[in-house]
């Protein structure tokens, strides 16, 4: 049954739920079979007939449960899609505030798989305004940004986030649920904020290539001449910006000369220890048959997450790697920063100081200070210490919309 284009997202959500249920069933099945194999092996050769019977029955049962879950999800998807098609004024899941957040998290965790499955929930890279995608032509841009100026500030979110992530705790911090760093800069300093949304489960270099391809269209079709382009990235977003600038600089793209300032908010330039730990946990779990299914489940995380192990931003960083979950040495060099721009960075730590063991290991709960500042023991990124700021007592997601972070941005970006 072919569904109308405007309700395919509902069926796609059901398909994802079905795949998730089937994957969970396989995890339980493989763990069960491995434990049973260990128990039957201790019983000796006399238990082999019972072992074969056990495996045959259990495999059949789990196959039925897995297949049933996927069929049930497909049926629910068709029914829900039919209802959605008759709902007046219906908005796609990805354009609803809560749906946007959930789909962003799913894209971060398994976005590369969604893309391989051609699932409609795989987010394309788009500009967003008013909770909807912006058409990149003069009419679409003029309609979305009626007060457009030539001073643009593009905000690029991080892993498992979306464009609405920049509003985090807006009501608590600023008394306005829609207030963001960008909206406040616009009100006080006349810039035009732009918000990107993209599939964070893809390779960082692929998203960087898409951004490098998107920016010339935005600049060429902007309603007024663009005089300056500032890029602000949170977490993975900073790495996507670096990837795009590397491509733009190497191809002499005309938009590169407009990029005067780049700000990195908690970007893991040298990698994220949490991904290193997950990789190590997967390797340890793979050693025993009973825990190998869990290792396989961990290995299904997206390639975007795996890129955060060492902060890989180019395809060359992992081109010779046959297994992204396998062991490899930390690189000795970093891809250079865009030479024609001024680079600024903010790093947070849960504790008040950035020179403690906790700051080096835990940092802001996801990114340590050394990675956010590009000042590792093995390699260093050429970030000017005078253009960096440490904010103690904040966590990773505070960087999205905290007043203390905005004060730093205003200091750097207000002329």
168 confidence band (pLDDT: 50, 70, 90): very high
Report the pLDDT averaged over residues 402-410.
Answer: 97
Residue 7 has pLDDT above 80, yes or no: no
Which of 261, 408, 304 shows the shortest CA–CA distance to 347? 408
Task: Specify the pLDDT at position 108.
Answer: 96
Lowest mean per-residue pLDDT among 10-19, 118-127, 164-173, 318-327: 10-19
**C-alpha to C-alpha distances, 141 to 124, 136, 145, 268, 363, nearest whole angstrom:** 18, 6, 6, 32, 39
pTM of full prediction above 0.85: yes
Write out the two tokens for 326: 């396998």
Task: Specify the pLDDT at position 124.
Answer: 96
51 confidence band (pLDDT: 50, 70, 90): confident
Lowest mean per-residue pLDDT among 20-24, 202-206, 344-348: 20-24
Report the pLDDT averaged over residues 317-346.
Answer: 93
d(CA 95, CA 103): 10
Task: Specify the pLDDT at position 72.
Answer: 72
What is the per-residue pLDDT across 241-275, written as a single tens digit (0 to 9) for each?
Answer: 999 999 999 999 999 999 999 999 999 999 999 99
Q: Tally Cβ neighbours within 10 Å of residue 363.
A: 26
Task: Tell me what percent of the residues of the chain surpass a pLDDT of 90.
Answer: 68
Residue 4 has pLDDT above 60, yes or no: no
Task: Specify the pLDDT at position 94.
Answer: 83
Task: Specify the pLDDT at position 1.
Answer: 47
32 confidence band (pLDDT: 50, 70, 90): confident
Task: Specify the pLDDT at position 149.
Answer: 97
Which of 212, 185, 172 shows the shortest CA–CA distance to 196? 212
What is the per-residue pLDDT across 352-372, written as a single tens digit (0 to 9) for each?
Answer: 998 888 888 889 999 999 999
Average confidence score pLDDT of the chain? 89
Report the pLDDT averaged over residues 403-409.
Answer: 98
262's CB contacts (< 8 A; 6+ apart) are 230, 231, 232, 233, 238, 241, 245, 337, 338, 341, 342, 343, 344
């Amino acid at each position: 049954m072919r569904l109308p284009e405007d309700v395919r997202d509902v069926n796609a959500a059901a398909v994802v739920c079905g795949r998730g249920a089937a994957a969970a069933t396989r995890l339980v099945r493989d763990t069960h079979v491995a434990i049973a194999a260990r128990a039957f092996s201790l019983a000796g050769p006399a238990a082999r007939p019972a072992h074969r019977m056990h495996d045959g029955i259990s495999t059949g049962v789990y196959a039925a449960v897995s297949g049933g879950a996927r069929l049930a999800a497909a049926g629910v998807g068709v029914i829900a899609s039919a209802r959605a098609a008759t709902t007046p004024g219906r908005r796609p899941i990805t354009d609803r505030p809560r749906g946007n957040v959930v789909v962003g998290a799913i894209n971060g965790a398994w976005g590369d798989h969604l893309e391989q499955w051609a699932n409609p929930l795989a987010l394309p890279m788009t500009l967003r305004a008013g909770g909807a995608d912006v058409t990149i032509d003069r009419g679409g841009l003029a309609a979305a940004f009626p007060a457009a100026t030539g001073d643009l500030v593009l905000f690029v979110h991080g892993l498992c986030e979306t464009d609405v992530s920049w509003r985090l705790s807006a009501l608590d911090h600023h008394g306005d649920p829609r207030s963001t760093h960008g909206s406040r800069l616009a009100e006080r300093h006349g810039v035009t904020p732009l918000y990107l949304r993209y599939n964070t489960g893809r390779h960082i270099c692929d998203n960087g290539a898409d951004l490098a391809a998107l920016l010339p269209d935005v600049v060429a079709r902007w309603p007024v001449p663009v005089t300056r382009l500032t890029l602000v990235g949170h977490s993975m977003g900073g790495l996507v910006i670096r990837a795009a600038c590397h491509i733009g600089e190497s191809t002499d793209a005309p938009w590169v000369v407009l990029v005067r300032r780049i700000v990195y908010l908690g970007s893991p330039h040298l990698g994220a220890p949490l991904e290193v730990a997950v990789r190590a946990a997967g390797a340890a779990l793979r050693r025993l048959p009973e825990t190998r299914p869990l290792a396989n489940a961990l290995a299904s995380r997206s390639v975007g997450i795996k890129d955060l192990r060492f902060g890989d931003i180019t395809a060359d960083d992992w081109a010779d790697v046959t297994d992204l979950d396998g062991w490899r040495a930390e690189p000795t060099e970093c891809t250079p920063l865009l030479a024609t721009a001024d680079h600024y960075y903010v790093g947070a730590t849960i504790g008040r100081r950035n020179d403690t063991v906790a700051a080096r290991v835990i940092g802001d709960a996801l990114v340590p200070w050394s990675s956010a500042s590009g000042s590792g023991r093995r390699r260093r990124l050429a970030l000017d210490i005078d253009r960096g700021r440490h904010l103690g007592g904040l966590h990773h997601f505070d960087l999205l919309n905290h007043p203390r972070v905005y004060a730093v941005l205003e200091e750097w970006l207000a002329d």
